Copies of this chain bind each other. A is one copy, B any other.
Amino acid sequence: MLVEKEQLLIKSLQECMIVCNHCLNECLTEEQVAPMLDCIHMNRESIQFCSYLEQAIIRKSPYAKEFAEICLSVCEDCANECKKHDHRHCQYCAEICKECVEACKTFLEA
Contact = CB atoms under 8 A, between A and B. Distances in A.
Interface string A21-35: 110010011000110
A95 interface: no
Contacts of A66: 70, 73
A74 interface: yes
Q: Which label, helix, strand, loop or mixed, suits the secondary structure of the A interface? A: helix
A55 B44 CA distance: 12
A51 B55 contact: yes
Interface of A: 1-2, 10, 14, 17-19, 21-22, 25, 28-29, 33-34, 37, 40, 44-45, 47-49, 51-52, 55-56, 58-63, 66-67, 70, 73-74
